[in-house]
Structure 1
């Protein structure tokens, strides 16, 4: 070991360790955002199922989605907002929120939407053929 190289490992570690820790936090942050997105998508799908049912309403869909968010989303998904819309032919649910922060000042938005036709009873006009 040369006299001029003393302390070079310490200097390299001072630079490398914070970068490695930041990369680890970034991976955890992305995983939390991905999980929060999946929770929002699941809640939107459940809300759509309730909203588009034959006797369903937009309020039913909104309540169903909010119930699932309350059960699953308290950790990774925060500041949620659920909106539902139902017309005579279609229904839709939109969910927005924020992923929990691991890296300070990094606010990652979450958005999920589900839409589909309203279920309707259509009588068999062919006479059972």
Structure 2
């Protein structure tokens, strides 16, 4: 029996993490990390198929998680969610192979892109 792919959601606002997790229900095993350090530990031990991170994680930046993910596990699909448009963050995310989207404005697009990434992993 094939194990379900995993998604790690990292966001400082638990309601955002819970909402994204609910949208992905049944498509993957979802883990939620509330802090940068918690996410860093998960990435080091059980790298996910998909990483979804907010930009602001306390004193840290979610882009640093994307960089760590890309270095250690280049096959992980990375998504950065933004509260509002930010050209600098979008450019930096793209430079590190991540897709950036406004959330919740582009929630449907995020869900579809994550589903497509999970489908690629399942093949």
TM-score range, shorter chain: under 0.3
Larger Rg: 1
Task: Provide TM-score, normalisation by structure 1.
Answer: 0.27
